[in-house]
Amino acid sequence: MSEDNLAAQSCTPCRGGVPPLTPDEAEALLQQAPGWELADGATRLERRFSFGNFAQALAFVSGVGQLAEAQGHHPEISFGWGHATVSWRTKKIKGLHRNDFIMAVKTTELAEAQEGSG
């Protein structure tokens, strides 16, 4: 498995005391997560997704929830009719970890798969 293929990777347990990614490290990983933006001084990743209706947005949110449970890494999510905003941040280190970028790429893949199915 390529070290650069974030989608093929799984989250690793993150314990407190690990330093968060620096802004430069976050910017480098961001290149592998098109559509995502750094927020709050490069301590959070965020992306808004659009859907055709409420049911599609809800299905996406449910899929992200299942993915989060499977990986043991959980986002902040807000959604409504035709949209969902997903935010990744590693709370234990009050910033970004490689896991956040892994999950961002997996979240994008989930959204793209949903678009293709409907």
State the chain's maximal CA–CA distance in angstroms: 43
Q: How many CB atoms lie within 10 A of CB 14?
A: 18
Two structure tokens written together for 24: 């430069």
52-80 pLDDT, tens per residue?
999 999 999 999 999 999 999 999 999 99
When pLDDT is cut at 50, 70 and 90, the band that residue 2 belongs to is very low
Asked whether the predicted pLDDT for residue 13 surpasses 60, the reply is yes
Contact predicate 7/109, CB 8 Å? yes
Cα within 13 Å of Cα(85), Cβ side: 8
Global pTM?
0.89
CA 117 to chain CA centroid, Å, is: 21
Q: What is the arithmetic mean of pLDDT over 91-105?
A: 95
Which CATH superfamily is 22-117 part of? Transcriptional coactivator/pterin dehydratase (3.30.1360.20)
Average pLDDT of the chain is 91
The pLDDT of residue 115 = 78
